[in-house]
């Protein structure tokens, strides 16, 4: 057996794909630079470690299920009421260590989803297990888990397995009684054990209407969400419409209540 084949076989058995990928190039380099054998070994192991680290990040990003990738670099603070200093603080991700939540409220188009994605993306880059879901998808998953008797499993293995849960677009659909109860279970599950980032077009006084008019349940949910949290209330008009209007495509002003 050729030496390369033997190396390849060992690397496969021991799952050392970084070493397999890089050992030959590095061997040539080591020969040219007259590196010692130990230097060669150290560099090779460092490469393997780096590749594993990167792959871990890629996996976590894939598992997060972001609809698209957006970062804070493409967020224009000059045309937004969002406080840049607070956003920078949030992006240190200390809030995840402190199991705090982030509440992003505001009308349509002001960048709530953009910021939620940017936070989730930053977390994946720190290899923090993250899951991004719309409220509608989350409820579908909960209901189907409940129907098939796997609710416990879903709460433990899917919701419990991530440190950061992003729930986008809470408030667009009204929940029925069962859905409202399931939603409470999610918030309760994450309370003081993980972090939730939630976006909503509704201010808190209207949450009860979405939560099947259940006052006690709404209070319990808001209590847990707000207790340790950063609240970002975004004012202003839709970024998309603003851009269109500035470009002269729309010739009417947009009113805000």
**N residues, the chain:** 257
Angle between helices 17-33 and 3-13 (to 10 degrees): 140
Q: Minimum distance from CB of 85 to Mg ion (Å)?
A: 23
Q: Minimum distance from CB of 68 to ligand ADP (Å)?
A: 9
Interatomic CA distance for residues 173 and 84, integer angstroms? 30
By the 10 Å C-beta count (0-12 exposed, 13-18 middle, 19+ buried), 147 is classed as exposed
Q: Is 131 in the site for ligand ADP (CB under 6 A)?
A: no
State which residue, 18 or 106, has the beta carbon closest to ligand ADP.
Answer: 106
Q: Which stretch binds ligand ADP (CB under 6 A): 27-35, 106-114, 172-180, 212-220?
A: 106-114
Contacted entry of ligand ADP, Mg ion, none for residue 71, CB cut-off 5 to 8 Å set by kind: none
State which residue, 101 or 113, has the beta carbon closest to Mg ion.
Answer: 113
State which residue, 18 or 113, has the beta carbon closest to Mg ion.
Answer: 113
Shortest-Cβ-distance residue relative to ligand ADP: 111
Q: In this chain, which of 20, 61, 114, 210 binds ligand ADP, going by CB under 6 A?
A: 114
User: Binders of ligand ADP among 35-94, rule CB under 6 A?
Assistant: 70, 74-76, 79-80
Q: Minimum distance from CB of 74 to ligand ADP (Å)?
A: 6
Asked whether the beta carbons of 67 and 162 are under 8 A apart, the reply is no
Q: What is the DSSP letter of 33?
A: H
By the 10 Å C-beta count (0-12 exposed, 13-18 middle, 19+ buried), 188 is classed as middle
Interatomic CA distance for residues 211 and 208, integer angstroms? 5
How many CA atoms, within 13 angstroms, populate the side-chain half-sphere of residue 230?
24
- Strand-pairing partners, residue 200, are 105, 170
State which residue, 111 or 194, has the beta carbon closest to ligand ADP.
Answer: 111
Residues that bind Mg ion in the complex, under the rule CB under 5 A: 113
Q: Is 171 in the site for ligand ADP (CB under 6 A)?
A: no
State which residue, 41 or 202, has the beta carbon closest to ligand ADP.
Answer: 202
Query: What are residue 132's phi and psi, to 5 degrees?
Result: -110, 125
Give first-to-last CA distance, the chain, whole Å. 77
Q: In this chain, which of 47, 51, 239, 241 binds ligand ADP, going by CB under 6 A?
A: 239
- At 160, list the tokens: 């419990």
Q: Minimum distance from CB of 115 to Mg ion (Å)?
A: 10
Would you tell me which residues interact with ligand ADP (CB under 6 A)? 70, 74-76, 79-80, 106, 108-114, 199, 239-240
């Amino acid at each position: 057996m050729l030496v390369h084949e033997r190396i390849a076989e060992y690397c496969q058995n021991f799952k050392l794909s970084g070493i397999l990928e890089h050992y030959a190039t590095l061997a040539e380099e080591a020969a040219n630079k007259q590196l010692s054998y130990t230097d060669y070994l150290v560099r090779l192991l460092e490469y393997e470690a780096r590749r594993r680290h990167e792959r871990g990040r890629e996996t976590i990003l894939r598992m997060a299920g972001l609809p698209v990738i957006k970062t804070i670099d493409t967020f224009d603070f000059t045309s937004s009421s969002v406080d840049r200093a607070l956003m920078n603080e949030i992006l240190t991700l200390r809030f995840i260590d402190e199991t705090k939540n982030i509440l992003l409220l505001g009308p349509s188009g002001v960048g709530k989803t953009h910021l939620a994605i940017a936070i989730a993306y930053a977390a994946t880059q720190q290899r923090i297990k993250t899951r991004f879901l719309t409220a509608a998808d989350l409820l579908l998953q909960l209901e189907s888990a409940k129907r098939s008797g796997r609710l416990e499993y879903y709460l433990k293995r899917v919701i419990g397995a991530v440190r950061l849960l992003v729930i986008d677009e809470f408030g667009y659909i009204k929940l029925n009684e069962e859905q409202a109860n399931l939603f409470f279970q999610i918030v309760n599950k994450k309370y003081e054990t993980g972090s939730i980032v939630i976006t909503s077009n509704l201010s808190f006084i209207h949450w009860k209407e979405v939560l099947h008019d259940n006052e006690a349940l709404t209070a319990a949910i808001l209590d847990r969400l707000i207790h340790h949290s950063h609240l970002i209330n975004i004012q202003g008009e839709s970024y998309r419409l603003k851009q269109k209007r500035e470009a002269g495509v729309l010739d009417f002003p947009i009113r805000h209540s």
